[in-house]
Amino acid sequence: MQIPAIGLGTFRLKGQQVIDSVRTGLELGYRHIDTAQIYDNEADVGQAIAASGVPRKALFVTTKIWTEALGRDKLRASLETSLEKLRLDQVDLTLIHWPSPGDAIPVQEYMEALAEARAAGLTRAIGVSNFTIAHLQQAIDAVGADQIATQQVEMHPFLQNRKLADFTRARGIHLTAYMPLAYGKVMHDAVLQQIAQTHDASPAQVALAWLLQQGYAVIPSSTKRANLEGNLAAASLRLSEEEMAAIAGLDRGERLANPDFAPAWD
């Protein structure tokens, strides 16, 4: 299954704001929409999709199972609720949003439950998000690396997660980068600005192109039409080896998504 390289993230967007963002994104050509149970916007995303007129088969919709629904007795029902909110019979990809806090629930239990939900036709594919190397290995042991469609993690020029990325790539598992623009911080970096000027592009487009050229999918978000359009255009930007290396040198381990229940990062 091919995950569209550029998706539309909806984190922190709710109500009319997310409806407008998704509607505009679909008008511009986005076909990959990323949401999650904890975002509390699945119903709004579903409304925007339903009103868009875009055929269901042309869309790729991702949602994520929240930590409170990881138990074998809760996971499937929670995904069914998500489908009702999204007005869909099936999502394309369902991720475990975070490992169980404190590993209270074994990885094997919720990965097997997620695989069962897929077998029941609720989702076309399954994957993980915010997994450490240890958690990812347990997921592989539970369902097999070939069954994990992607690992979605925070990834941008200032947090490159190389150890985790190398492990994931070595196991043949695709990577999706969330927060690829570091909440807009990429716009103010001198190296990215200089490269952008060379290509008559924006620093945001350069940051996205850098990730795309490594084979990752990206899910930037925006409420502004011009930014949504610019992000989508990053797919046509090609960076030189020297430019890719210069961006690789920006890594400073700056993690932006680090809640108190996060695992011990690699």
Distance, in Å, from the CA atom of 150 to the CA atom of 62, rounded to the nearest integer, reads 11
> Could you tell me if 91 and 82 are in contact, meaning their C-beta atoms sit under 8 angstroms apart?
yes
> Could you tell me if 248 and 154 are in contact, meaning their C-beta atoms sit under 8 angstroms apart?
no
Buried b (16+ CB within 10 A) or exposed e, 98-119: bbbeeeebebebbbebbbebbe
Distance, in Å, from the CA atom of 80 to the CA atom of 232, rounded to the nearest integer, reads 31
CA-based nearest residue to 61, from 87, 40, 24: 87
Please indicate whether residue 39 is annotated as part of the active site: yes
Catalytic-labelled residue, pool 39, 110, 178, 216? 39
Distance, in Å, from the CA atom of 92 to the CA atom of 232, rounded to the nearest integer, reads 20
Catalytic residue set: 39
